[in-house]
């Protein structure tokens, strides 16, 4: 592996550019290198691992029992990248990808992409014959009254602090929400010494009944033993409160307490930290901006990129691997990354069709095995309507532009707004630095509620490049051809 410290050291062109160094990206890079593709893997983090294996090679947390056995499985993927011939660019943002065009403006054949990357205040354009987007998942927004107070974080953010820096929340800590990650993080933090005063489970009581017919399939899945072990370990070691509704965080200048109802009774707990989590959904921002088709996935209640059995998107030359193409967990993400890399090698002529099928066949069977039981998890932890569509009109939805739920409902109702892109014109929702990552899922829920239609009829934000903010200084730092310089001077 060649570690790129200066963006000027990037090659002019690659067979394959991979966006993201989580399990899918790491596995894809190692597989692509093994098959002979000139590969660049670019990632915004300072070390490989993504979210689930974050800081796997640099974490100061050395006690294996704190982060758990599943976390340390990521070492193998990091070591495979280290042994590869890839270019690895950490702390690097991929902000655009455009199809190459000829002098007339038509898409050039064979297809290639011009990929915009930036690092340390400098930007460059590199050429790629294929792209694999391994952008992973993001936490579903969980807006509740008071969630913008200092002392409130997402569970994922707390996990980043723990894995990257060994930091543990100080003082009385409450975790609230739903999903396997909530219990996992609570267990990790408790082992690391955090004072967990409550775990507030918002999972609707009726979800288990709906998921029960799917339980046999889950019990045959590779995740069953791990999940049941975690449930058994935390059942008595953590102060879990179930059937929680109507969360409300309050305090003068920071978090002081959290109020809720449990089984119809009002409860208040004094606390210093609140960690919120309501499951994860695919991070579609980059695939969306590059024009990849999306579909509404009812099982996850989220927009998801449409891919085929090789994880190819609707845009020729772009594949989407890992949880960015549907939530299935880290082991599955790694397998899907390898399949996408095999498909890329075939597309650029390094593998014939027979070899492609021979190499990918066992991996596709493993991917199917790893997906078993996922429907049970999705059904069990399906978020309730009061989480997806906050009732309190004062609840902030778009943190970038400070737009609250009442404003969105009023504008949609009074101006007959049809979708989130029209709403931008009135309230600027989705136009801040996060580009809708924090508000998009909630905005479309509120629009659907006011229109009285399914969320799938509302659509999603239409995004354009740059996918991530880029400064004028970075743009100016890009090398310019003589023709471009002369065109400006004329």
pLDDT tens-digit map of 376-409: 999 999 998 999 999 999 999 999 999 999 999 9
Decide: residue 442, CB within 10 A, 0-12 exposed, 13-18 middle, 19+ buried. buried
Q: Are strands 13-19 and 93-99 parallel, antiparallel or unpaired?
A: unpaired
Cα 74 to chain centroid, rounded? 17
Indicate the average pLDDT of the chain. Answer: 93
- Residue 490 has what pLDDT? 54
Find residue 3's DSSP bridge partners.
88
- Residue 101 has what pLDDT? 74
Distance (Å, rounded) from C-alpha 363 to C-alpha 298?
26
Find residue 153's DSSP bridge partners.
275
- Residue 316 has what pLDDT? 94
pLDDT band at 102; cut points 50, 70, 90: low
pLDDT band at 486; cut points 50, 70, 90: low
Q: Tell me the mean pLDDT in the region 293-310.
A: 95
Q: Is 270 left (phi over 0), alpha (psi -120 to 50) or beta?
A: beta
What domains sit in the chain, N to C, each tagged with a CATH number? 10-138+282-351 (3.50.50.60), 141-278 (3.50.50.60), 389-457 (1.10.10)
Q: Tell me the mean pLDDT in the region 462-483.
A: 84
- Residue 432 has what pLDDT? 87
Neighbours of 428 (CB within 10 A): 14
Angle at 35 between CA 34 and CA 38, to 5 degrees: 90
Two tokens at 465?
């490049």
Q: Tell me the mean pLDDT in the region 301-323.
A: 96
- Residue 483 has what pLDDT? 53
Give the helix ranges, DSSP H, for 256-329.
285-289
- Residue 422 has what pLDDT? 96
- Residue 485 has what pLDDT? 53
Two tokens at 59?
């974490």
- Residue 171 has what pLDDT? 95
Question: Is the separation of the CB atoms in 147 and 31 below 8 Å?
Answer: no
Question: Is the separation of the CB atoms in 320 and 290 below 8 Å?
Answer: no
Neighbours of 349 (CB within 10 A): 10
Q: Tell me the mean pLDDT in the region 318-335.
A: 96
Question: Is the separation of the CB atoms in 447 and 423 below 8 Å?
Answer: yes
Distance (Å, rounded) from C-alpha 223 to C-alpha 241?
24
pLDDT band at 235; cut points 50, 70, 90: confident
Q: Any idea which of 214-228, 361-375, 388-402 has the lowest mean pLDDT?
A: 214-228
Q: Any idea which of 38-42, 152-156, 252-256, 470-474 has the lowest mean pLDDT?
A: 470-474
Tell me the angle at which helices 330-347 and 23-34 cross, rounded to the nearest 10 degrees.
Answer: 40
- Residue 482 has what pLDDT? 61
Q: Using CA atoms of 220, 225, 231, 233 in order, give the dihedral in degrees to the nearest 10.
A: 160
Q: DSSP 3-state assignment of 216? A: helix
Distance (Å, rounded) from C-alpha 40 to C-alpha 97?
14
Distance (Å, rounded) from C-alpha 300 to C-alpha 8?
41
Distance (Å, rounded) from C-alpha 21 to C-alpha 75?
13
Does the pLDDT value for residue 414 go beyond 80? yes
Two tokens at 122?
């400098």
Does the pLDDT value for residue 415 go beyond 80? yes
Please tell me the pTM assigned to this model. 0.94
Residue of 320, 282, 321 whose CA lies nearest to 300: 282
Lookup result for tokens 């004072």: 195
């Amino acid at each position: 592996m060649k570690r790129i410290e200066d963006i000027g050291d990037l090659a002019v062109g690659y067979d394959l550019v991979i966006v993201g160094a989580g399990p899918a990206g790491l596995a894809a890079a190692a597989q692509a290198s093994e098959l002979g593709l000139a590969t660049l893997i670019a990632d915004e983090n300072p070390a490989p691992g993504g979210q689930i294996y974050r800081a796997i090679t640099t974490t100061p947390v050395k006690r294996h029992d704190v982060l758990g056995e599943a976390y340390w499985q990521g070492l193998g993927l990091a070591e495979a990248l280290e042994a590869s011939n890839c270019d690895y660019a950490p702390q690097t943002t991929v902000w655009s990808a455009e199809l190459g065009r000829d002098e007339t403006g038509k898409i050039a054949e064979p297809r290639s992409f011009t990929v915009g990357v930036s690092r340390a205040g400098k930007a460059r354009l590199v050429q790629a014959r294929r792209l694999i987007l391994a952008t992973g998942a993001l936490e579903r927004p969980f807006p509740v009254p008071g969630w913008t107070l200092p002392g409130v974080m997402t569970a994922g953010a707390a996990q980043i602090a723990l894995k990257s820096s060994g930091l543990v929340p100080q003082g009385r800590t409450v975790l609230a929400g739903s999903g396997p990650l909530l219990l996992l993080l609570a267990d990790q933090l408790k082992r690391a010494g955090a004072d967990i005063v409550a775990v507030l489970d918002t999972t609707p009581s009726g979800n288990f009944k709906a998921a029960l017919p799917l339980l046999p399939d889950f019990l045959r899945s590779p995740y069953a033993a791990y999940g049941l072990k975690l449930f058994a370990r935390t059942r008595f070691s953590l102060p879990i409160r179930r059937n929680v509704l109507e969360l409300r965080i309050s305090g003068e200048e920071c978090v002081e307490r959290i109020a809720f109802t449990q089984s119809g009774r009002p409860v208040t707990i004094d606390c210093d930290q609140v960690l919120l989590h309501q499951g994860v959904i695919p991070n579609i921002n980059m695939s969306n901006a590059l024009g990849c088709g999306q579909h509404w996935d009812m099982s996850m209640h989220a927009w998801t990129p449409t891919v085929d059995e090789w994880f190819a998107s609707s845009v020729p030359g772009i594949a989407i691997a890992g949880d960015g193409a549907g939530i299935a967990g880290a082991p599955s993400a790694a397998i899907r990354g390898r399949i996408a890399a095999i498909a890329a090698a075939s597309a650029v002529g390094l593998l014939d069709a027979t070899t492609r099928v021979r190499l990918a066949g066992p991996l596709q069977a493993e991917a199917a095995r790893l997906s078993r039981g996922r429907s049970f998890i999705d059904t069990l932890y399906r978020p309730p309507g009061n989480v997806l569509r906050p009732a309190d009109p004062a609840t902030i939805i778009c943190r970038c532009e400070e737009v609250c739920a009442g404003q969105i409902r009023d504008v949609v109702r009074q101006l007959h707004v049809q979708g989130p892109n029209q709403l931008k014109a009135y309230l600027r929702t989705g136009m801040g630095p996060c580009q809708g990552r924090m508000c998009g899922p909630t905005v479309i829920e509120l629009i659907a509620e006011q229109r009285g239609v399914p969320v799938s009829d509302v659509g999603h934000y239409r995004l354009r490049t740059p996918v991530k903010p880029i400064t004028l200084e970075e743009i100016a730092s890009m090398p310019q051809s003589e023709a471009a310089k002369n065109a400006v001077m004329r």
